[in-house]
Structure 1
């Protein structure tokens, strides 16, 4: 009987042991750099690539081909001939952008994603798009957050926390937005500033080891690249001027934008208009009259990111995009309230020493600046590139940031008065 059971269950048991051994002892090797693969990973922009530690670390540690993390949301998916990845490739820039963004990803998502690449942020350079559209009354979308969150991010956070106010806030927000998160008991201990037991630490260490090896193993077996580079980057390279010139590029950008925004009066990309707006355009007239981004829990979540950049001594260029001015007028979105939110974001940045800000919030009416309703494109990308080149031309360490955890307070998130009157 036992022999028969062994014949049936033995292979299953052996397979289980082999998988467990792989997860415990599979070597996590980020050192095999292949630039062609890294370039493709950098523009893959899928949920899986967004969550993958292996791809990010491999590219961001390449000693011969520096990659810069570009944090944001869905703007990086607006590929045209002036996209940052196209310009960097066409003109052999001494860096390549590594895009970390997805639709609905906001500061809380970015903060937990950063936990996987902290050594790669240490005393390095980054770009961070701050979209005022993140700053809604409800803040981060729970479904989007959960889609882009994984267990490796969780154990990365838990193994690095030191019971600071920042850790406590991050843990509380995680429980708010993902109440059924794995290892919730450990997250609660961080939120309540309770130390881990020796058993907790052993379990956490083992789980962290398994998570990293599992991700490295399956990434090595399957990869997770798509065709974005070959479809959207490579074909555009030969169409650009051989010698770099902003004047020549702007002329080409305007010609391309005019062709691609020909079927509507709002200056919106034809495909975007047809697929996302045309069927309901009449219902959208005046639909944003009451919309405001001035009060939001996102201001507190944004502080998590600022704390991380300060802790990692990262030099950061913050980018504030505009709204398409014609779209703003059509939907009734108030420009004064939009600028009030921008002023609040900039105050939170500048009062803590983050002075590298590319503020495009008033440029939504410039010709061919916008790709659609809220994302820049064509001439907008070129304006962004000019700011980026000025930022990268500066050398030296990150500024001495003056972090103020007062920005975690609820009364900051809900503050709607004149920014000059806010008293920390």
Structure 2
């Protein structure tokens, strides 16, 4: 009878001892600058869930964090990741965000990294679609929720206690969080600022520390083992050493070839796949919609509060919607313009700068589909990033 190999079992045992008993500092030696550069445009879900990769990235002056949501994955030659690879200015964009990441994801993420954010320049791209009448729902929240980050926040005693109480209360409004009784107990202690000398709190803390330590080790292991990396595909002919006027012309030329089968300036493949077969039914379908009133404004205020408390230096980017498409679906101008004005005022009130691109709703080839930036839109963001990094756009405090 053939004897079964003990290799997999031995490997599992070795891996277990590595994760549980090796000092966590050992793993940090493998998170090199080259490793961070490889992950910069990956949009890796493991990185979003984790802490250490982003922590090490924020400590480096060679990376520019760009926070946002699904627009970050709309890669073309003018996307910041491609543009700054062809036109290196001393920093590499590092993308954090995917479909479903809204204010709650970002304020929790910033709270976890508050020590690394002091004095750090970052870009934050806002999506109007976050600001619906009902705000973020449980499905979108659960799809991007990080249990590791939630425990890190719950166990952190160095963060501003008043603001921590607000964040904890907001997190507890989601059933995804309440499913974890230990996390719930820790967050409720933050909300009510419970006496940390009680037996029950100490017991919860002891259990949570052990659980968090194991999650940290798993995060570190995943951070050094992950080997899937997006290969950037720039286009030096279109983007390298070009003036902004030349970039705009090249962006329009590149986009025009891909937007030939509809009057909305949407890429052909997107239009064919998602819209064409139901075009008639979508006409006027969003007559009752608006982005001017939404619970998301309250959640977004927590983003602003965390960044201000942390001493970060953000540039917020207010992007438009596709005006041609929004007119077709009946989404009224008041519901769009009201949002643009309201979000700009909210950010300015906190002393942060805004790159306001809302006037480009009807700029042909500014968007790649109904809601996502592309081509000429990315050119404007590239320009804004350069001005911001060169000190031409500053915080007002």
- TM-score range for the pair, normalised by the shorter chain length: 0.7 to 0.9
Aligned to 1:140: 136
Shift of 1:99: 0.8
Shift of 1:396: 11
Matched, 1:370 2:373: no
- Counterpart Cα distance in 2 of 1:207 and 1:346: 41
- Counterpart Cα distance in 2 of 1:380 and 1:42: 21
- Match of residue 102, structure 1, among 72, 83, 98: 98
Matched pairs, number: 381
Shift of 1:199: 2.7
- Counterpart Cα distance in 2 of 1:103 and 1:293: 18
- Counterpart Cα distance in 1 of 2:309 and 2:21: 31
Shift of 1:293: 1.5
- Counterpart Cα distance in 2 of 1:48 and 1:287: 37
Aligned to 1:3: none
Shift of 1:164: 3.1
Aligned to 1:394: 391
Question: Structure 2: which 5+ residue stretches go unaligned?
Answer: 1-7
- Match of residue 346, structure 2, among 345, 348, 351: 348
- Counterpart Cα distance in 1 of 2:23 and 2:262: 55
Aligned to 2:179: 180
Shift of 1:61: 2.8
- Counterpart Cα distance in 1 of 2:265 and 2:343: 27
Moved over 6 A (4+): 14-18
Shift of 1:133: 1.2
- Match of residue 153, structure 1, among 111, 131, 149: 149
Matched, 1:207 2:211: yes
Matched, 1:42 2:40: yes
- Counterpart Cα distance in 1 of 2:350 and 2:146: 31
When normalised by structure 2's length, the TM-score is 0.88
- Counterpart Cα distance in 1 of 2:300 and 2:29: 32
In structure 2, the CA distance between the partners of 1:332 and 1:18, relative to structure 1 (3 Å rule), is closer
SS in 2 for 1:69: strand
Question: Structure 1: which 5+ residue stretches go unaligned?
Answer: 1-10, 401-424
- Counterpart Cα distance in 2 of 1:396 and 1:135: 26
Matches within 5 A, 1:157-236: 157-161=153-157, 164-177=161-174, 178=176, 179-181=178-180, 183-196=183-196, 197-221=201-225, 223=226, 225-226=228-229, 228=230, 230=231, 233-234=232-233, 236=234
Q: Deviations over 1:374-413 (max 9, x none)?
A: 112111111112222111111899654xxxxxxxxxxxxx
Native 8 Å contact 1:73 1:104 kept in 2: yes
SS in 1 for 2:238: coil
Native 8 Å contact 1:23 1:210 kept in 2: yes
Q: Deviations over 1:41-63 (max 9, x none)?
A: 11111322322323222333335
- Counterpart Cα distance in 2 of 1:245 and 1:133: 32
- Match of residue 53, structure 1, among 51, 58, 73: 51
Shift of 1:15: 6.9
Aligned to 1:83: 79
Q: Which moved more, 1:282-291 or 1:133-142?
A: 133-142
Q: Deviations over 1:133-167 (max 9, x none)?
A: 10112211322222222221012111225573322
- Counterpart Cα distance in 1 of 2:21 and 2:321: 49
Native 8 Å contact 2:67 2:97 kept in 1: yes
Native 8 Å contact 1:49 1:224 kept in 2: no
SS in 1 for 2:93: strand
- Counterpart Cα distance in 2 of 1:239 and 1:181: 53
In structure 2, the CA distance between the partners of 1:16 and 1:31, relative to structure 1 (3 Å rule), is closer
- Counterpart Cα distance in 2 of 1:109 and 1:360: 24
Q: Deviations over 1:245-269 (max 9, x none)?
A: 2222222111110001112111001
Q: Which moved more, 1:68-77 or 1:175-184?
A: 175-184
Shift of 1:270: 1.5
- Counterpart Cα distance in 2 of 1:79 and 1:17: 40
SS in 2 for 1:129: strand
Q: Deviations over 1:191-219 (max 9, x none)?
A: 22223433333333333322211110133
Shift of 1:87: 0.9
Q: Which moved more, 1:201-210 or 1:98-107?
A: 201-210
